């Protein structure tokens, strides 16, 4: 049984016990412990399923969710038992408010507000008032049967055509009218805020319009987008970038808006990048530009710049974009005279998983510069999930630079695959002596043990168990200490 099914079963048992047998503490404790165990390592999302064809039994978890008007419950990994118990008590009751907590998010069913002038609800008990005429059809009411017979008639495109309007999408016309009104209000707010230089309000209105765009009818979406982009001038874009530079809390919504604006925003951010190193906000710039597919032609000219910092920015952005054609653009950087440019180029190659980057990474692993070789080790560790791990294992025997060698070992530890862990175990067991010069020093063998601890995978633990039996001296002690620490951490 997977964790979600186990949680639904055990947490549902807890809710039912609290409702029908509140005095059975022992059974409640068992159900609570099982539910907490199910979400200990991974999150769970439970949907009520409002649109079921068959309503479930009330004495089930989904039955109680439906009864309490809960649409979805999202429980993060590691939720505390007291949080789960508070939620279960609320679901078992009919009036207690449904709580949220740091690890539990509850989303209630959204109630649609009645239109102005409509009655507040059905008559008590669902009984039709005697003054209403009897229903003539069970499928659909006629005009005379409606509660508001004086309401205006529909005409033109919105004229009602009969019972088939459920199929032909006629009901959506009213939704579209509401969306148009909302878009007009937001655009007016956007223009007024820009005129008054209230850039925080500009960001709020622009974000609402960006999130409204996917719901605009396809035939009107292009016109809608052009109108919004025209309302956001270059000065507004620059001010939004300034605002995000100063306040890290609004960088996420600003990124969403700037990426939607597109190339106009990209030009502003690229101008900021070429002015200097952009320390402190470089990650924000990369995040915005890395999410724009059309920015590729604007980035590639940076690779041939005379200024190394511009070339480094260009390489980093091409890595973020992940375009396979960028591999050929990045190859000349491996021979660049600036060390930082070479490192940026190699790391960008490791982030492009769809192209032929294997051979360039292999060449970088044997570069004459030690820092470039270390960067190649980091790139190989992330490229396609470490399919080139054997290259790192082979390079351990020939690498003579201390920092580059430790970069190789650390990369193998981050991978945690069977090949990388076997290679690390081989290093830990290969002791250098006067008669055997092909082995590794004590510090190198201990570094291999630390890398196995970093892997934290079943294969790595198996290799550590092997070292506690086959290794000697401080290597055996280090492997045993790592395993004991893991056992204590596991409880």
pLDDT tens, residue by residue, 376-418: 999 999 999 889 999 999 999 899 999 999 999 999 999 999 9
Output 278 or 350, whichever has higher pLDDT.
Answer: 350
Per the prediction, the chain carries an average pLDDT of 85
- The SS3 assignment for 35 reads helix
Q: How many CB atoms lie within 10 A of CB 435?
A: 6
Q: What is the pLDDT of residues 82-98, one digit of tens each?
A: 889 999 988 888 888 88
pLDDT at 68: 86
**Contact (Cβ atoms closer than 8 angstroms) between residue 309 and residue 337:** no
| % of the chain exceeding 70 in pLDDT | 84
User: Which positions ≥6 away from 423 have C-beta within 8 Å?
Assistant: 389, 390, 392, 393, 396, 412
pLDDT at 121: 47
**Contact (Cβ atoms closer than 8 angstroms) between residue 441 and residue 432:** yes
Distances (CA, A) of 43 to 60, 74, 264, 390, 458: 21, 8, 39, 35, 22
For residue 47, give the H/E element and its range.
Answer: strand 44-47
Burial 185-204 (b: 16+ CB within 10 A, else e): ebbebbeebbeeeebeebbb
Strand partners, 47: 72
Strand partners, 431: 440
The answer, yes or no, to whether residue 166 has pLDDT greater than 70, is no
What is the pLDDT confidence band of residue 115, given thresholds at 50, 70 and 90?
A: low
The answer, yes or no, to whether residue 325 has pLDDT greater than 90, is yes
pLDDT at 144: 58
Output 39 or 410, whichever has higher pLDDT.
Answer: 410
What is the pLDDT confidence band of residue 436, given thresholds at 50, 70 and 90?
A: low
What is the pLDDT confidence band of residue 169, given thresholds at 50, 70 and 90?
A: low
What is the pLDDT confidence band of residue 123, given thresholds at 50, 70 and 90?
A: very low
pLDDT at 79: 87
Domain extents in the chain:
3-108, 174-261, 262-387, 393-491
Angle at CA of residue 291, ends 285 and 295, nearest 5°? 80
pLDDT at 355: 87
| % of the chain exceeding 90 in pLDDT | 55
Alpha-carbon span 221 to 244, nearest angstrom = 27
Assess if CATH 1.25.10.10 describes domain 262-387.
Answer: yes
The answer, yes or no, to whether residue 260 has pLDDT greater than 50, is yes
pTM for this model (two decimals): 0.64
What is the pLDDT confidence band of residue 287, given thresholds at 50, 70 and 90?
A: very high
Distance of CA 455 to the CA centre of its chain: 23
Report the range out of 54-68, 98-112, 230-244 with the highest average pLDDT.
230-244
């Amino acid at each position: 049984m997977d964790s979600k099914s186990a949680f639904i079963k055990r947490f549902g048992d807890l809710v039912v016990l609290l409702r029908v047998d509140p005095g059975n503490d022992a059974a409640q404790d068992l159900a609570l412990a099982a539910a907490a165990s199910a979400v200990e390592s991974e999150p769970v999302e439970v949907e009520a399923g409002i649109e079921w064809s068959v309503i479930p039994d009330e004495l089930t978890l989904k039955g109680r969710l439906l009864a309490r008007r809960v649409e979805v419950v999202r429980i993060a990994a590691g939720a505390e038992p007291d949080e789960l118990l508070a939620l279960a008590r609320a679901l078992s009751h009919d009036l207690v408010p449904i709580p949220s907590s740091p690890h539990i998010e509850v989303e209630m069913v959204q109630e649609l507000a009645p239109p102005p002038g409509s009655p507040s609800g059905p008559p008590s008990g669902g009984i039709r008032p005697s003054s209403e005429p009897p229903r003539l059809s069970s499928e659909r009411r006629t005009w005379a049967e409606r509660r508001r017979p004086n309401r205006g008639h529909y005409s033109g495109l919105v004229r009602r055509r009969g019972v088939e309007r459920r199929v032909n999408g006629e009901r959506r016309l009213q939704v579209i009218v509401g969306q148009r009104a909302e878009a007009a209000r937001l655009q007016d707010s956007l223009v007024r805020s820009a005129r008054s230089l209230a850039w925080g309000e500009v960001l709020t209105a622009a974000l609402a319009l960006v999130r409204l765009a996917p719901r605009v009818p396809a035939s009107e979406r292009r016109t809608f987008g052009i109108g919004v982009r025209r309302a956001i001038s270059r000065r507004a874009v620059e001010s939004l970038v300034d605002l995000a530079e100063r306040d890290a809390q609004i960088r996420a919504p600003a990124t969403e808006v700037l990426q939607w604006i597109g190339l106009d925003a990209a030009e502003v951010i690229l101008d900021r990048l070429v002015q200097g190193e952009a320390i402190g906000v470089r990650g924000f710039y990369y995040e915005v530009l890395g999410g724009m597919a059309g920015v590729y032609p604007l980035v590639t000219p940076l690779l041939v710049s005379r200024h190394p910092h511009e070339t480094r920015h260009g390489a980093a952005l091409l890595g973020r974009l992940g375009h396979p054609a960028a591999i050929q653009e990045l190859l000349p950087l491996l021979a660049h005279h600036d060390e930082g440019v070479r490192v940026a180029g190699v790391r960008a190659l490791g982030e492009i998983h769809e192209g032929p980057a294997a051979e360039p990474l292999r060449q970088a692993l044997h570069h004459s510069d030690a820092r470039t070789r270390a960067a190649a080790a980091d790139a190989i560790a992330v490229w396609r999930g470490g399919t080139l791990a054997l290259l790192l294992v082979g390079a351990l025997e020939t690498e003579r630079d201390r920092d580059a060698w430790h970069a190789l070992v650390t990369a193998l530890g981050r991978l945690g695959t069977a090949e990388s862990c076997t290679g690390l175990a081989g290093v830990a067991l290969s002791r250098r002596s006067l008669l055997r010069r092909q082995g590794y020093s004590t510090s190198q063998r201990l570094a291999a043990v630390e890398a196995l601890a970093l892997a934290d995978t079943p294969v790595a633990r198996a290799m550590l168990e092997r070292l506690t039996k086959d290794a000697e001296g401080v290597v055996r002690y280090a492997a045993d200490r790592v395993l004991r620490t893991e056992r204590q951490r596991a409880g």
